[in-house]
Amino acid sequence: MDLMRVIVLFALIAARCARASLPNFVLLFADDLGYGDLGCFGHPSSLTPNLDRLAAGGLRFTDFYVTSPVCSPSRAALLTGRYQTRSGIYPGVFYPGSNGGLPLNETTVAEVLKSRGYATAIVGKWHLGVGPNGIYLPTRQGFDRYLGIPYSHDQGPCQNLVCFPPDVKCYGFCDQGVVTVPLLSNENIKRQPADFLQLEKEYSEFASKFINDAVQNNQPFFLYYPSHHTHYPQYAGADYAGKSPRGPFGDALMEFDGTVGKILQTLKERGVINNTLIFFTGDNGPELMRKSHGGNAGLLKCGKGTTYEGGMREPAIAYWPGSIQPGVTRALASSLDILPTFARLAGAALPDVQLDGFDMTNILLYHRPSERQTIFYYPTSPSQEHGVFAVRWKNFKAHYYTQGANHSRGTSDSNCSSLPLLNHDPPLLYNLEADPSEYYNLNSSEWDSVLQQIQAIKEHFEASMVFGESEIAKGIDSALAPCCVPNCTPKPECCHCTPAL
Ligand SMILES: *[C@@H]1O[C@H](CO)[C@@H](O)[C@H](O)[C@H]1NC(C)=O
Ligand SMILES: *[C@@H]1O[C@H](CO)[C@@H](O)[C@H](O)[C@H]1NC(C)=O
Ligand SMILES: *[C@@H]1O[C@H](CO)[C@@H](O)[C@H](O)[C@H]1NC(C)=O
Ligand SMILES: *[C@@H]1O[C@H](CO)[C@@H](O)[C@H](O)[C@H]1NC(C)=O
Ligand SMILES: *[C@@H]1O[C@H](CO)[C@@H](O)[C@H](O)[C@H]1NC(C)=O
């Protein structure tokens, strides 16, 4: 062998070893799950043995936040490390026929990791746009593989669909006048409507196959599993239906937990569990208007759609045996911090844009305090006129605006739903450590200096905020809704395909 070939050979071996030692990432993301819904966060009748195991063997966060009390914007921030206002994912959420989507020039955590040779996959709910010819699907945003329903599974009529075996119809009606929800494989419709009784089984098989393939190829991997559970209407297959003391919501949560268990099992069997960081959280607070079919925010005030704690503070767990010591952290952290943290651990360069996240590795690996001291609460439909509705600084939270939301209707606290948009001057001030339920407004002058400090932080933040062009304001073209028989009539009913067995 000549010298050049020896050098090339060594370089190849070195690259392979470096790749093999990169950590894998599994990001678990629940839907409309409240702060009080998991066994390990105090729920008395939820059965979540696998998530509880992650909490017992990993780091449980008490003060973890998302950036929006609704779905699409929360997911945009999770995947980009930037507030949804920057990427234009406001007001509200995407629909099956939305013209817009997460702009392709935004850099997702999947794209960041791909730059380091990661295999990437998403299984479950995307909800960041489909668009003309599927240009906003996850396969265009750094994910090698996709299996899932590309938006919420109530964004299509569900009254004739089966949610529990043998043939229990879904609870409620869901959205009418649109196509039934499709199951996509990469960019193709695999079936329409999706089969809720088989869905989680297919998802866990897809996840296991993806992990197996990556391990076999000696490739580090990133698996993103944004579950449809526990969003309305709840569903579960035969293994979980009727198994939870908590009813249909509990069964759906148990099925999600079961998929988490299967992913853990695969990681163990393939010998990569000690080289994989698993991070779990949820997209926003519980949809209280569904009553016992919705989730529970525990001791936090209100739920989905509001900027009270129950809308935006989520259960979160980081698990990485041997690297993360078990415990509980009260460090302030956010879904915005996922991208910088994964990038750091993978040795990947950060995208050259204004990021809003902080690297959490000091919290995870050394139980050190957070670099993050603030949380900004944007409402469902942010505007430049109103800006952020609330600011948390250390243990204090100031509400500049409050507003109820229909998603949080039906509890004894009528402010969760009926409160009109109110401006508070001076802001309502709560000490979230002494008073996590936001009961006692600190309205005496002894807190003036805290309010001044928060005001300065808010002004500084808002001066840096440039709202991107709204993708959701680009509107809806019903012809864009995914249809497995593209030119059929009459739509939407004709969009119906069941694969031959
Ligand atoms: C993406 O492109 C739009 C339109 O040109 C631009 O306004 C926006 O700043 C770009 N975003 C990023 C992250 O580069
Ligand atoms: C992971 O590490 C633990 C503790 O060191 C060890 O007992 C276990 O066998 C390891 N598992 C794998 C799959 O390497
Ligand atoms: C709640 O729903 C009612 C009736 O659909 C509507 O009039 C009202 O504006 C909604 N409230 C909020 C806060 O969105
Ligand atoms: C509801 O909101 C109003 C206006 O901010 C406030 O005066 C009242 O105390 C609130 N009620 C509860 C139960 O929080
Ligand atoms: C503070 O709030 C309490 C009850 O909510 C009220 O009785 C009191 O007048 C308020 N004090 C000030 C200074 O606004």
Give every CB contact of residue 174 below 8 A, 6+ residues apart in sequence: 153, 154, 155, 156, 157, 158, 159, 233
Q: Which atom of ligand 4 is nearest to the CA of 424?
A: 5
Pairing mode, strands 390-393 and 396-402: antiparallel
> How far, in Å, from the CA of 411 to the mean position of ligand 4?
14
Closest atom, ligand 4, to C-alpha of 438: 14
Q: How far is CA 89 from CA 23, 84, 94, 322, in A?
A: 30, 5, 8, 38
DSSP 8-state assignment for residue 90: -
449: CA distance to ligand 5 center in Å? 18
> How far is ligand 5, taken at its centre, from the CA of residue 443, in Å?
6
- The closest ligand to the CA of 403 turns out to be 3
Indicate which residue's Cα is closest to atom 5 of ligand 3. Answer: 406
How would you class 476 by CB atoms within 10 Å of its CB: exposed for 0-12, middle for 13-18, buried for 19 or more?
A: middle
Q: 448 with 456: CB under 8 angstroms?
A: no
Catalytic residues: 71, 127
pTM for the predicted model, two decimal places: 0.95
Q: Tokens 């794209």, residue?
A: 111
Domain map (residue ranges) of the chain: 22-374, 390-468
Query: Which residue has its alpha carbon closest to ligand 5 atom 12?
Result: 443
Angle, helices 248-269 vs 196-216, to 10°: value is 20
Give DSSP secondary structure letters for 98-162. BS--S-TTSPPHHHHHHTTT-EEEEES---S---GGGTTSGGGTT-SEEEE-SS-TTSS--TTSE
Residue 5: predicted pLDDT: 62
Among the atoms of ligand 1, which is closest to the Cα of residue 468?
Answer: 7
Q: What angle do CA 241, 247, 250 make, to 5 degrees?
A: 75
Q: Which of 306, 309, 415, 428 to mutate to test the pocket of ligand 4 (most atoms within 8 A of CB)?
A: 415
Residue whose CA is at the smallest distance from ligand 2 atom 2:
274
Instruction: Look at residues 163, 170, 79, 172 and name the one whose alpha carbon lies nearest to residue 127.
Output: 79
3-state helix, strand, coil in the chain (%, to 5): 35, 20, 50
Domain 22-374 class in CATH? alpha beta
- The number of the ligand 4 atom at minimal distance from the alpha carbon of 415 is 1
Distance 105 CA to ligand 1 centre (A): 6
List residues near ligand 4 (CB under 6 A): 402, 413, 415, 419, 422
Q: Are 123 and 203 in contact (CB under 8 A)?
A: yes
Distance from residue 16's CA to the centre of ligand 5 (Å):
66
- HEC states along 162-217? EEECCCEECCCCCCCCCCCCCEEECCEEEEECCCHHHHHHHHHHHHHHHHHHHHHC
Work out whether strand 24-30 and strand 313-319 pair parallel, antiparallel, or are unpaired.
unpaired
- Note the pLDDT of residue 499: 79
Distance 376 CA to ligand 4 centre (A): 21
Instruction: State the DSSP string of 364-418.
Output: HHH-PPPS--EEEE--SS--TTT--SEEEETTEEEEEEE---GGGTTSS-THHHH
Going through 208-364 in order, the beta strands assigned E by DSSP cover 221-226, 276-282, 313-319, 327-329, 333-334
Answer for the pair 124, 148: CB distance below 8 angstroms, yes or no: yes
- C-alpha pair distances (Å), 209 with each of 202, 468, 478: 10, 38, 35
The three-point CA angle 214-218-219 to 5° equals 55
**Ligand nearest to C-alpha 467:** 1
Give the helix/strand (H/E) hosting 259. helix 248-269
Ligand 4 atom 3: residue of nearest CA: 415
- Of the CA atoms within 13 Å of residue 85, those in its CB half-sphere come to 22
Q: Which protein residues are within 6 Å of ligand 5, measured from CB?
A: 441, 443-444
Q: Which residues line ligand 2 (CB under 6 A)?
A: 268, 271, 273-274, 321-322
Round to whole Å and give the CA distance between 489 and 310: 44
Tell me how far the alpha carbon of residue 419 lies from the centroid of ligand 4, in angstroms. Answer: 8
- Residue 312 dihedral angles phi and psi, to the nearest 5°: -130, -5
pLDDT reported for residue 349: 98
Q: Which ligand is nearest to the CA of 270?
A: 2
User: Rounded to whole angstroms, how far apart are CA atoms 34 and 44?
Assistant: 14
- What are the pocket residues of ligand 1 if the criterion is a CB atom closer than 6 Å to any ligand atom? 103, 105-106, 353, 468
Residue 35 structure tokens:
């702060």
- Give me ligand 3 centre to Cα 406, in Å: 6
Q: How far are the Cα atoms of 36, 70, 252, 424 from residue 32, in angstroms, in the given order? A: 12, 8, 12, 28
User: Which residues fall within 8 angstroms of residue 482, CB to CB, at 6 or more apart?
Assistant: 96, 130, 150, 179, 182, 184, 189, 192, 495
Task: Choose the residue to mutate in 24, 269, 274, 319 for probing ligand 2, maximizing ligand atoms within 8 Å of C-beta.
Answer: 274
Distance of alpha carbon 95 from alpha carbon 75, whole angstroms: 14
**Distance in Å from the first CA to the final CA of the chain:** 55
* Chain position carrying tokens 């075996």: 165
Q: Which ligand 5 atom sits nearest the alpha carbon of residue 443?
A: 1
pLDDT value at position 195? 98
Residue 411 has a pLDDT of 87
Please name the residue that has the structure tokens 């409160």.
419
Residue nearest to atom 6 of ligand 5 (CA): 443
The residue contributing the CA closest to ligand 5 atom 13 is 444
pLDDT in the model for residue 208: 98
Residue having the nearest C-alpha atom to atom 10 of ligand 5: 443
* Nearest residue by C-alpha to atom 1 in ligand 2: 274
For ligand 1, mutation pick of 83, 85, 102, 105 (most atoms within 8 Å of CB): 105
pLDDT in tens, the chain (501 residues): 565 565 555 555 555 555 558 999 999 999 999 999 999 999 999 999 999 999 999 999 999 999 999 999 999 999 999 999 999 999 999 999 999 999 999 999 999 999 999 999 999 999 999 999 999 999 999 999 999 999 999 999 999 999 999 999 999 999 999 999 999 999 999 999 999 999 999 999 999 999 999 999 999 999 999 999 999 999 999 999 999 999 999 999 999 999 999 999 999 999 999 999 999 999 999 999 999 999 999 999 999 999 999 999 999 999 999 999 999 999 999 999 999 999 999 999 999 999 999 999 999 999 898 899 999 999 999 999 999 999 999 999 999 999 999 999 988 899 999 899 999 999 999 999 999 999 999 999 999 999 999 999 999 999 999 999 999 999 999 999 999 999 999 999 999 998 765
Interacting residues of 242 by C-beta distance below 8 A, sequence separation 6+: 164, 251
- Atom index in ligand 3 nearest the CA of residue 404 equals 13
**80 φ, ψ to 5°?**
-110, -15
Class of the CATH domain delimited by 390-468: alpha beta
Tokens of 279: 């991070």
Tell me which residue of 252, 220, 224 sits closest to 75, measured CA to CA.
Answer: 224
